[in-house]
Amino acid sequence: MARVRSTFCTVTGLAWYSATKDLVDGSRDPGGTAEIHSRRRAAIRELLSLFMRDNSSATIISTQAVSIQDSPEQPKERRPASGLWWGLLGVAAFSFTVPFTKVAVGGLPPLFIASGRAVVAALLAAFALALTRQRLPRGAQWARLAVVAGGVVVGFPFLTSFALTTAPAGHSAVVIALLPAATAMTAVLRGRERPPRSFWIASGAGAAAAIGFTSLQSGGFTALHWTDLLLFGAVATCAVGYAEGGLLARELGAWQTISWALVLVSPLMAVLAILPATQQGLSATPAQWAAFAYLGVVSMFLGFFAWYRGLAVGPMARVSQVQLVQPVMTIGWASLLLGERLDWTTVAGGLAVVLCAGAAVRARSSRS
């Protein structure tokens, strides 16, 4: 009987109990004793009817609720589909980053592009945080936010912006295809996990494929271009930012983490954006300004909303693998929007890196 009462109070809530108490003790109407007894009997009948109606006691209701939640026809089919669609939307938003950065650097200084897009995103992030009244991070969370900002807000945008001044977008997309495997490897080291040996084999093969691709297009291992080093640095810094951000998102929330990271470094980004604007001037075509606006609003802010929403709906291990299609989409956009020619080395290199990265992510997910 105690179990039934406990579950019953959980289902009905305190407000109903308070109203019933007023009816039982007659506090709302200090009438005669007959009136009090009449109300008390009515309240008791109502209580009994809740237990006896349609044979649905609180225990049966709880059991039915659990069986509905575990039913394979309802939430379990919808949640993965919803999470995958949100994740794919975020990846589609990110897939335009490299081609649009290539467009923007044609008329704007790379320093202004990297810092200015962060300023635009920081303004949107500050508005969202203030509108939803998010609590401030505490103590060591600020230092961890600095790590996230250093990788996602500063490192990746700056290094890719300078690299894309000369590197083709399709070539850059193949190197950046290492990012899922690099993120998984950083998360393993940061979380002190013990993944299977196949994870390390796939990660190493992906790195070897990316290095082999860049050296083949550069003319040998000793002829690696400086832009390739910038791209590898961008992958490394972004992987650290993603891994730390994934851990910190468990405490602050997903989109809140990237928003606080943007706000944290916004003063520095504003100064860095003003310097090239005043020294070199800003003269760009409408298409180049539109590409810059996309980088600030979508690539640095709205894309993270869709991506983190997909990871939150989950399942996370399955949704995270959607990121493997991003380099393929980026290479396609580079060909369609920029007119870059796809040779067999780009296609083969991109396919090899994506397959190795997928094997690494899948090996870690299956072990987890």
- How many Cα atoms are found within 13 Å in the side-chain-facing hemisphere of 207? 15
CA separation, residue 230 to residues 15, 81, 110, 122, 331 (Å): 62, 36, 13, 24, 19
Mean pLDDT for 36-47 is: 54
> Using 50, 70 and 90 to split pLDDT, how confident is the model at 236?
very high
Same domain for 63 and 99, yes or no, is no
Predicted local distance difference test score (pLDDT) of residue 36: 52
Same domain for 304 and 191, yes or no, is yes
Same domain for 137 and 244, yes or no, is yes
How many CB atoms lie under 10 A from the CB of residue 131? 8
CA separation, residue 244 to residues 57, 71, 175, 310 (Å): 47, 35, 22, 18
Predicted local distance difference test score (pLDDT) of residue 296: 95
Contact by Cβ (8 Å): 160, 231: yes
Q: For residue 54, what are the domain limits?
A: 2-69
Predicted local distance difference test score (pLDDT) of residue 140: 93
Same domain for 101 and 158, yes or no, is yes
Mean pLDDT for 294-303 is: 93
Distance CA 174, CA 185 (A): 18
Predicted local distance difference test score (pLDDT) of residue 270: 95
Tokens of 227: 């832009």
Same domain for 192 and 83, yes or no, is yes
- State which amino acid sits at residue 190: R
Same domain for 250 and 104, yes or no, is yes
Same domain for 18 and 136, yes or no, is no
- Nearest-10 crossing angle of helices 169-176, 344-367: 20
* Between 107 and 5, the higher pLDDT residue: 107
* Between 351 and 51, the higher pLDDT residue: 351
Same domain for 91 and 61, yes or no, is no
* Between 285 and 304, the higher pLDDT residue: 285
Same domain for 268 and 164, yes or no, is yes
Name the nearest CA neighbour of 97 among 172, 148, 166, 155.
Answer: 172
Last residue of a domain, one of 20, 44, 69: 69
How many CB atoms lie under 10 A from the CB of residue 359? 18
User: What contacts 223, CB < 8 A, 6 or more positions away?
Assistant: 215
State the residue for tokens 């807000």: 153
Indicate the number of domains in the chain. Answer: 2
- Nearest-10 crossing angle of helices 97-104, 326-338: 40
Distance CA 130, CA 117 (A): 20
Distance CA 165, CA 161 (A): 7
Name the nearest CA neighbour of 321 among 79, 83, 155.
Answer: 83
pTM for the model stands at 0.70
Predicted local distance difference test score (pLDDT) of residue 39: 59
Contact by Cβ (8 Å): 255, 312: no
Distance CA 314, CA 332 (A): 27
Name the nearest CA neighbour of 151 among 243, 217, 82.
Answer: 243
What is the SS3 assignment for 338?
A: helix
* Residue 130 in this model has a pLDDT that exceeds 90: yes
Same domain for 176 and 325, yes or no, is yes
Contact by Cβ (8 Å): 266, 90: no
* Residue 33 in this model has a pLDDT that exceeds 70: no
* Residue 221 in this model has a pLDDT that exceeds 80: no
Mean pLDDT for 145-155 is: 94
Last residue of a domain, one of 41, 69, 97: 69
Distance CA 95, CA 85 (A): 15
Mean pLDDT for 191-205 is: 80
Same domain for 60 and 175, yes or no, is no
Last residue of a domain, one of 69, 102, 122: 69
> Using 50, 70 and 90 to split pLDDT, how confident is the model at 37?
low
* Residue 338 in this model has a pLDDT that exceeds 50: yes
